Amino acid sequence: MARTARGGAGPKVLETAHRLFYRDGIHAVGVDAIAAEAGVTKTALYSNFGSKARLVVSYLRERDRLWQGEIDRITASITSPRERVLAVFDAYEAWLSRDRFRGCAFANAAAELPRPDDPAREVVRHHKSAVRSFLRRQVDLLREPDPELPAQLMVLLEGAAVTSTIDQSAEPFRVARRLAESLLPHDASESSDAS
């Protein structure tokens, strides 16, 4: 085995863990498999992450960082809050389609790690809260903001994610997006332009 450059093990381990945890599940993948596939020693893995539990937290934080970056990229040029909400549905569809409908990494982790006090569950809660907050900020900018709408949109998103995983199809996101369109009032700027 070629030696990993000093400081190079952490990113290799995280990238490998990201792929294996998402593809095979957190419980099914051990540190031996991650170290072997990353081409590092278990000592290097543990010196970078300390434990499998901390590696899981790092994996979920990285997934959250990538998701937030994707949402920022997708919505950067969209000025309409209504269209920004709908873009989240498009982003979910794109991610799950690209990942071959393996499901939401955060929902999968929550299902595998049922203890509410598990540190990884805190990352899951943070991620879902950030998505809900993004939706809430957009809804607040609409002509007729509805305080219940962000929760309804989250249910549509999460339901579409689960159903698309079961059906191995993007169609649930398209259905959810059409439902979201029917729930969303027009933007405040659209109503003032029309008058």
Q: Are residues 21 and 81 in the same domain?
A: no
pLDDT tens string 130-148: 999 999 999 999 988 899 9
- Confidence bin at 190 (pLDDT 50/70/90): low
Domain that holds residue 17: 1-50
Q: Are residues 65 and 150 in the same domain?
A: yes
DSSP 136-161: HHHHHTBSS--TTHHHHHHHHHHHHH
- Confidence bin at 188 (pLDDT 50/70/90): low
CB–CB of 9/40 below 8 Å?
Answer: yes
CB–CB of 66/22 below 8 Å?
Answer: no
State the Cα–Cα distance between residues 143 and 82, nearest whole angstrom.
Answer: 10
CATH of the domain at 99: 1.10.357.10
**pTM of the predicted model as reported, rounded to 2 decimal places:** 0.88
User: Which pLDDT value is given to residue 145?
Assistant: 85
Adjacent-strand bridge partners of 187: 142
Question: 3-state DSSP call for residue 23?
Answer: helix
Residues in the chain: 195
pLDDT above 70 covers a percentage of the chain that reads 92
